[in-house]
Amino acid sequence: MLISCYTKKVSPKKFHVLSFKYALDGLVAALKEEPNLKFHLLAGLIVILISLYLKLSTGDWIIIILVIGFVITVELTNTAIEKVVNEFVDNIHPGAKLAKDISAAAVLVASITAAVVGLIIFLPYFTI
């Protein structure tokens, strides 16, 4: 028997089902509470629609999907860090502020990286 994060003994099969459920619960909660995640998902959808229109190569598609996933993953991580810090730090603590600032910086770096990769991939499709 495996033990879930809620300390109930469950079978390995149920453990995997619960793990998937908890992940979906987290994604839904983040979508409800985090406007930046909605923005990044919308941006990703727009990029996918442009990619469909331009009929990107398989290699370009792989890169686009990986970059979108990277930005969403970093945004989810940032959201989790912010929630934990906000929950356990009542006053302004320099370490808490630094943790939140660094996790926000990670999203910024991921987003800039995605934009640069997007330009590298899309610009050749628009040259005359």
List binding-site positions for substrate: 75
- Answer whether 15's CB lies under 8 Å from 87's CB: no
- Report the distance separating Cα 1 and Cα 20, nearest Å: 18
**Among candidate residues 80, 60, 61, the one with its CA nearest the CA of residue 72:** 80
Residues in the annotated binding site for a divalent metal cation: 34, 82
Beta-carbon-side half-sphere exposure of residue 67 (alpha carbons within 13 Å): 24
User: Of these residues, 47, 71, 75, 79, which one is catalytic?
Assistant: 75
Residues in the annotated binding site for ATP: 22, 34, 82, 100-101
Q: Per this entry, what is the length of the chain?
A: 128
Give yes or no: 87 in active site.
Answer: no
The catalytic residue positions are 75
